[in-house]
C-alpha cells in the first residue's frame, strides 16, 4: 500500500463548527450539454461559533473556475487559490460578504452521476453526500444551512420542463434566443446536499393534495415521454404517505408543490431533495405487465421513505455525515411502519428481518463491520450501508419498544419542536427521549457506538415444585475492526411462555417487571430472569417480533421448534421457529456433505399449510427456507458454497415431494380472480401460489414443471410471468433457453424488465453461468454506464449467486474484480458497492479464501483507484 499518498480518515472527534456561514445562495444556471455555466452568489458571514479571522475555504470536485469576485469586485490572483478541489479566499474581511463564483461544467461527460449530469438527455443533479461541490465551490457540509433561489435557463426545445427546489417564483422566455427560464425559491434553510434541479423533455401527472390544516399542495410526477401511464401507483403511494405522516407523527407538508422526477441513470434508489425528489425510475414506474408485486411494494416504501425525509432529514438535518443514521435509520423505521400499516404487519416484519439478517448481519460479521454511527471514515459514500440504514432502524424500533408507544411519540414531538431548522446529532435525538420521558438512555446509546451483532445465549429451566421458570441469559458482543472489548448492551427482549395447549401462560417476573409488558430488559453480561406461577412446563418464545437485532442461541429442541412453528401466538416467532429448524438441518447437512433430514420441517410446514387461519403471504414466507447466504453465515468458517447449495436443493426437493399434494392444492385454491391488482391480499395469494410452484417444480412433483410452463405462457401480470420464468430457468433446464428467449422478445425495449432477465440469468447455479454473464456484458441492452444494468447483471452474480461467484477456481472473483476496475473509471460509487460483495471472504474454505484474497489484492494494488474502491479494498483486506 502506498501509504504516503493515502488521505487521512475523517474523525467524528475532530468535528468543529464551520468558520463561515452561507445565509443565502442565488444560483444562475445556464444549461448546455457540454458547457453549462453556473453563477453562484453566496451571502456569507463569519460564524460566531467558528475560528475568528479564518480564510474562506470552499470545497470543489473536478471544478473549472471561470471568475470569482468579492463584494462586486473581481479578486486579484493573489487574493485566492483555486484548484479543482478547493477555492480559498485568503484574507477576507471579517464581516458579511457577497462572494460570486462562476464555474463551467460538462454534464454530458459526467459518468459518476454525482453533481449535474444527463440521464437519457435530461439534466438532473445528485448532491448527497458531496456532489454539490461538483457544481460550484461551496462549504459542502450538512451543518451549513442556506436559503436557495435558483434561476434555470435552457433551450426550450431541449428542456421544456425546468424544476428546482421550493416554489416556482417566475418563468418566461429569453427573447429571441429559443431559450427560456424558471426561477425557484425554497424558503426553508437547507444544506447543499438537498439542492436539486432538473431540465428536460418529460411527461407529467399531477394531483392536488389538501394538508391536515387545509393547505393546497400540487403534487407532480415527471417521467420519460410516453411513461406517464406507469406513474399512477407512485402518486397513490405519495398521497397515502402524506396522510400517514400527518396522522402518525403530526408532520405536515410545507411547500406549495411537491415534485418527483424519475430518471433512468441513478446511483441509488432515490433522493429526498427539498420539494424535488429525484428517483431511479425503477422505483416509480409500474404497470401490471412490467412490474412485480415486489416492485409495487418497493415503490410504495421508497416513495414514502423519501417523502418522510421532508421532516426527518430536511427540516431537521444532520450536523455531519457521522450522524447519517439520524436521518436514514429513523426514516427507514418510519417507512417500515408505513408499509406495515398499509399491508400486513407480521409479513412486513418478517421481510424486514430477512433483509436485516442477509445484509446487515453479514456486514457485521466481516471486515466492513462498523457502528450504526461510525467514528471515522475515508469515503462517506461507502457508509450508506445496511448497518446505518437497517440496524439504524432497528435501534429506533428498540427505543419505541423500550419506552412504549406514547412515550415514543412524546420524544418524537419534542425532537421536531426542539430541532426544527437545525442540523442535529444522535445525542440531540436521544436527549429528546430522555427529557420527554425521564428515562436514562446512556446504556442504550451503545447501540450507536458498538459494532457487531450481540449474541444472546438463553437457557430455560422449569421448576415444577416451585412453579417457576428461570431464564439464564448471557450476552456477548463480538470483536469487530477497531473494537476489541465491548460493554454489555441494553437489550429489550420481548418474550412469552407458551403452554401445552399453545396458548400463552401468564408472564409474571419475580420481583416485578423491569420492562414494558411482555418485555424483559437484558443489561448485563449474565443475567437471570425468574417467572412465577408457571404451573406447567412452558416453551419460551424469545425475542418476539425480533424485538432486538441479536443472534439468539437457545436450548430449544427440534420438538420445541415444531411446536412453536405450529402454535406460537407471535407470528414472527412462528415463522422464525420454522426457519431455525431449517437452518439447523441445512447446517448439519452442508457440514457433513449429507442429505438433509427433512422430516421435522415437513411436519412444521405441513401444519402451516393446513392452517386455514393463516395469511397466505405469511405461509409463503414460511415455505421459503433460509437462503444459501444465511446458511453460510451460520457455518461461519471454511464455508463450502457448493455443499450448502446441494443441501438446500435437496431439502427443497424433499419438501416439494413430501408435501406435493397440499402444495398443489394450495396452488389451485389460491388462484387470484379478476384482473391484476397490486394490493397486499392479492399479492399474498400470488406469493403463496408461486412459493408452492417453486417447490413443486424443484421437486419435479405435482406437475410442477408443466404448471410453470402454463403459467409462463398464460400470465397476465409480471409477478406470475417472472416467477414462472425463474422456476423454469432454475429448475427445468430443458425449457430454460426457449423461455428466456420468449421473455426477451416480449419485453425488449423495456430496460427495467430486461434487468430482471439479466438478473435471473446471472443467478443460475451452474458452471456455465460465468460465461453467460460475460457474454451478456456485450449484449446491446447492457451498458456499464447505467447502474441498474450493472447491478442487475454483475451485482446479482456477485451477491446472489453463491456457487458461481465463489467458484472454487476463483474465476468468479477474477471476473468481478476486473469489472470493478473497469467500472471504477466510469462510476466509482457503483464500483465500490460491487466490490463489497467480497465482504465475507474470510469465512470461506481455504482455496476460495486464497483466490478471493488474491483478487482483492489485485484491485487494491492497481494504481489510480478511486477513494471509493480503495477504501473498500483496504478495509476488506483489513
Ligand atoms: N438519502 C438517500 C439517498 C442517497 C443515498 C443519496 C446515498 C446519496 C448517497 C435516500 O433517502 C435513501 O435512503 N434512498 C435509499 C432507499 C431507501 C428506501 C432506503 C436508496 O437509494 O437505496
Ligand atoms: Zn433515506
pLDDT of 817-867, one tens digit each? Answer: 999 999 999 999 999 999 999 999 999 999 999 999 999 999 999 999 999
Q: Mean per-residue pLDDT for 718-740?
A: 98
Ligand 1 atom at minimal distance to the Cα of residue 829: 9
Can you spell out the DSSP letters for 698-717? HHT-TTHHHHHHHHHHH-SS
pLDDT of residue 415: 99
Q: Does 300 sit in the ligand 1 pocket, CB within 6 Å?
A: no
pLDDT of residue 5: 56
Q: Each residue of 357-386: pLDDT tens digit?
A: 999 999 999 999 999 999 999 999 999 999
Ligand 1 mean position to 267 CA, how many Å?
9
pLDDT of residue 498: 98
Can you spell out the DSSP letters for 542-556? ESGGG-S--EEEE--
pTM: 0.99
Ligand 2 mean position to 862 CA, how many Å?
33
Q: How far apart are CA 654 and CA 641, in angstroms?
A: 20
Residue nearest atom 7 in ligand 1 by C-alpha distance: 384
Residue nearest atom 16 in ligand 1 by C-alpha distance: 269
pLDDT of residue 512: 84
Residue nearest atom 18 in ligand 1 by C-alpha distance: 302
pLDDT value at 712 more than 90: yes
Relative to the alpha carbon of 127, which ligand is closest? 1
Ligand 2 mean position to 721 CA, how many Å?
31
Reply yes or no on whether 306 is catalytic.
yes
Ligand 2 mean position to 327 CA, how many Å?
7
Going through 504-663 in order, the beta strands assigned E by DSSP cover 504-505, 519-522, 526-531, 539-542, 551-554
Q: Each residue of 239-278: pLDDT tens digit?
A: 999 999 999 999 999 999 999 999 999 999 999 999 999 9
Confidence grade of residue 2 (pLDDT, cut at 50, 70, 90)? very low
Q: Each residue of 765-795: pLDDT tens digit?
A: 999 999 999 999 999 999 999 999 999 999 9
Ligand 1 atom at minimal distance to the Cα of residue 305: 18
Centre a 10 Å sphere on the Cβ of residue 212 and count the other Cβ atoms it contains: 14
pLDDT of residue 561: 98
What backbone phi and psi angles, to 5 degrees, belong to 204?
A: -145, 145
Confidence grade of residue 1 (pLDDT, cut at 50, 70, 90)? very low
Ligand 1 atom at minimal distance to the Cα of residue 309: 11
pLDDT of residue 515: 82
Of residues 564, 314, 297, the one with CA closest to residue 421: 314
CB 746 within 8 A of CB 730: no
Instruction: Pick the catalytic residue from 26, 306, 328, 853.
Output: 306
How do 20-30 and 146-155 pair as beta strands? parallel
Question: Residue 841: is it exposed, middle or buried by C-beta count within 10 angstroms (0-12/13-18/19+)?
Answer: buried
pLDDT value at 62 more than 80: yes
Q: Does 352 sit in the ligand 1 pocket, CB within 6 Å?
A: no
Centre a 10 Å sphere on the Cβ of residue 353 and count the other Cβ atoms it contains: 20
Q: Does 309 sit in the ligand 1 pocket, CB within 6 Å?
A: yes
Return mean pLDDT, the chain. Answer: 98
pLDDT value at 663 more than 90: yes
Q: Each residue of 109-125: pLDDT tens digit?
A: 999 999 999 999 999 99
pLDDT of residue 3: 45
Amino acid at each position: 500500500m502506498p501509504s504516503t499518498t493515502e488521505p487521512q480518515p475523517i474523525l467524528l472527534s475532530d468535528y468543529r463548527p464551520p468558520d463561515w456561514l452561507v445565509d443565502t445562495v442565488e444560483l444562475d444556471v445556464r444549461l448546455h450539454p457540454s458547457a453549462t455555466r453556473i453563477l453562484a452568489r453566496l451571502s456569507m458571514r463569519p460564524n460566531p461559533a467558528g475560528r475568528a479571522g479564518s480564510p474562506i475555504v470552499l470545497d470543489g470536485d473536478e471544478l473549472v473556475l471561470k471568475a470569482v469576485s468579492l463584494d462586486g469586485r473581481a479578486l486579484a490572483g493573489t487574493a485566492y487559490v483555486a484548484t479543482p478541489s478547493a477555492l480559498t479566499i485568503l484574507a477576507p474581511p471579517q464581516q458579511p460578504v457577497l462572494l460570486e463564483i462562476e464555474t463551467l461544467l460538462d454534464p454530458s461527460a459526467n459518468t459518476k452521476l454525482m453533481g449535474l449530469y444527463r440521464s437519457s438527455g435530461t439534466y438532473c443533479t445528485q448532491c448527497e453526500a458531496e456532489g454539490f461541490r461538483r457544481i460550484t465551490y461551496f462549504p459542502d457540509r450538512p451543518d451549513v444551512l442556506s436559503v436557495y433561489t435558483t434561476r434555470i435557463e435552457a433551450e426550450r426545445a431541449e428542456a421544456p420542463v425546468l424544476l428546482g427546489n421550493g416554489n416556482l417564483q417566475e418563468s418566461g422566455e429569453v427573447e429571441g434566443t429559443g431559450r427560456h427560464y424558471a426561477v425557484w425559491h425554497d424558503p426553508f434553510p437547507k444544506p447543499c446536499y438537498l439542492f436539486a434541479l432538473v431540465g428536460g423533455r418529460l411527461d407529467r401527472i399531477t394531483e392536488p393534495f389538501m394538508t391536515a390544516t387545509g393547505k393546497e399542495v400540487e403534487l407532480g410526477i415527471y417521467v420519460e415521454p410516453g411513461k406517464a401511464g406507469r406513474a399512477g401507483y407512485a402518486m397513490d403511494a405519495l398521497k397515502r404517505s402524506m396522510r400517514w405522516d400527518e396522522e402518525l407523527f403530526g408532520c405536515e407538508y410545507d411547500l406549495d408543490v411537491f415534485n418527483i422526477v424519475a430518471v433512468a441513470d441513478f446511483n441509488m434508489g432515490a433522493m429526498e431533495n427539498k420539494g424535488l425528489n429525484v428517483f431511479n425510475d425503477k422505483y416509480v414506474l409500474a404497470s401490471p405487465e412490467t412490474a412485480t408485486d415486489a416492485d409495487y411494494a418497493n415503490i410504495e416504501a421508497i416513495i414514502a421513505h423519501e417523502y418522510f425525509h421532508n421532516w426527518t432529514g430536511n427540516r431537521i438535518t444532520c450536523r455531519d455525515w457521522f450522524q447519517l443514521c439520524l436521518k436514514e435509520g429513523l426514516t427507514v423505521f418510519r417507512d417500515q411502519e408505513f408499509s406495515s400499516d398499509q399491508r400486513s404487519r407480521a409479513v412486513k416484519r418478517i421481510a424486514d428481518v430477512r433483509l436485516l439478517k442477509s445484509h446487515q448481519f453479514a456486514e457485521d460479521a466481516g471486515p466492513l463491520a462498523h457502528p450504526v454511527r461510525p467514528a471515522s471514515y475515508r469515503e462517506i459514500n461507502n457508509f450508506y450501508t445496511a448497518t446505518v440504514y437497517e440496524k439504524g432502524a432497528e435501534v429506533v424500533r428498540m427505543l419505541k419498544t423500550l419506552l412504549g408507544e406514547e412515550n415514543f411519540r412524546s420524544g418524537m414531538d419534542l425532537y421536531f419542536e426542539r430541532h426544527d431548522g437545525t442540523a442535529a446529532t444522535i445525542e440531540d435525538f436521544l436527549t429528546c427521549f430522555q427529557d420527554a420521558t425521564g428515562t436514562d438512555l446512556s446504556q442504550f446509546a451503545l447501540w450507536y457506538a458498538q459494532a457487531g451483532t450481540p449474541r444472546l445465549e438463553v437457557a430455560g429451566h422449569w421448576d415444577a415444585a416451585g412453579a417457576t421458570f428461570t431464564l439464564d441469559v448471557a450476552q456477548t458482543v463480538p470483536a469487530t475492526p477497531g473494537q476489541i472489548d465491548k460493554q454489555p448492551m441494553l437489550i429489550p427482549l420481548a418474550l412469552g411462555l407458551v403452554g401445552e395447549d399453545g396458548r400463552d401462560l401468564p408472564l409474571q417476573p419475580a420481583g416485578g417487571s423491569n420492562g414494558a409488558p411482555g418485555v424483559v430488559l437484558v443489561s448485563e453480561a449474565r443475567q437471570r430472569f425468574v417467572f412465577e406461577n408457571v404451573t406447567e412446563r412452558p416453551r419460551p418464545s424469545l425475542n418476539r417480533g425480533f424485538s432486538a437485532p441479536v443472534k439468539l442461541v437457545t436450548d430449544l429442541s427440534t420438538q420445541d421448534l415444531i411446536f412453536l412453528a405450529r402454535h406460537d401466538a407471535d407470528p414472527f416467532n412462528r415463522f422464525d421457529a420454522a426457519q431455525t429448524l431449517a437452518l439447523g438441518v441445512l447446517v448439519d447437512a452442508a457440514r457433513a456433505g449429507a442429505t438433509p433430514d427433512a422430516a421435522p420441517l415437513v411436519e412444521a410446514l405441513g401444519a402451516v399449510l393446513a392452517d386455514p387461519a393463516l395469511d397466505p403471504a405469511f405461509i409463503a414466507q414460511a415455505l421459503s427456507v433460509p437462503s444459501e447466504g444465511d446458511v453460510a453465515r451460520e457455518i461461519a468458517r471454511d464455508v463450502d458454497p457448493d455443499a450448502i447449495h446441494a443441501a438446500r436443493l435437496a431439502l427443497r426437493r424433499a419438501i416439494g415431494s413430501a408435501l406435493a399434494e397440499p402444495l398443489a392444492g394450495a396452488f389451485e385454491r389460491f388462484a387470484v380472480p379478476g384482473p391484476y391488482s397490486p394490493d397486499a391480499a392479492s399479492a399474498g395469494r400470488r406469493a403463496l401460489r408461486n412459493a408452492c410452484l417453486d417447490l413443486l417444480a424443484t421437486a419435479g412433483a405435482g406437475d410442477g414443471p408443466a404448471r410453470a410452463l402454463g403459467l409462463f405462457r398464460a400470465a397476465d401480470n409480471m409477478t406470475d410471468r417472472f416467477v414462472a420464468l425463474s422456476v423454469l430457468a432454475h429448475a427445468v433446464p430443458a425449457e430454460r433457453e426457449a423461455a428466456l428467449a420468449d421473455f426477451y422478445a416480449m419485453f425488449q425495449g423495456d430496460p427495467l424488465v430486461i434487468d430482471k432477465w439479466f438478473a435471473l440469468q446471472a443467478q443460475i447455479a451452474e458452471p456455465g453461468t460465468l460465461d453467460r454473464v460475460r457474454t451478456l456484458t456485450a449484449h446491446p441492452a447492457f451498458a456499464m454506464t447505467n447502474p441498474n444494468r450493472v447491478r442487475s447483471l454483475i451485482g446479482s452474480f456477485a451477491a446472489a449467486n453463491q456457487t458461481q461467484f465463489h467458484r472454487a477456481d476463483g474465476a468468479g472473483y477474477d471476473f468481478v474484480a476486473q469489472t470493478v476496475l473497469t467500472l471504477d473509471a466510469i462510476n466509482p460509487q457503483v464500483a465500490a458497492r460491487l466490490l463489497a460483495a467480497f465482504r465475507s471472504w474470510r469465512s470461506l474454505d481455504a482455496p476460495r479464501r486464497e483466490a478471493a484474497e488474491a483478487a482483492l489484492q489485485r484491485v487494491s494494488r492497481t494504481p489510480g483507484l478511486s477513494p471509493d474502491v480503495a477504501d473498500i479494498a483496504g478495509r476488506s483486506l483489513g
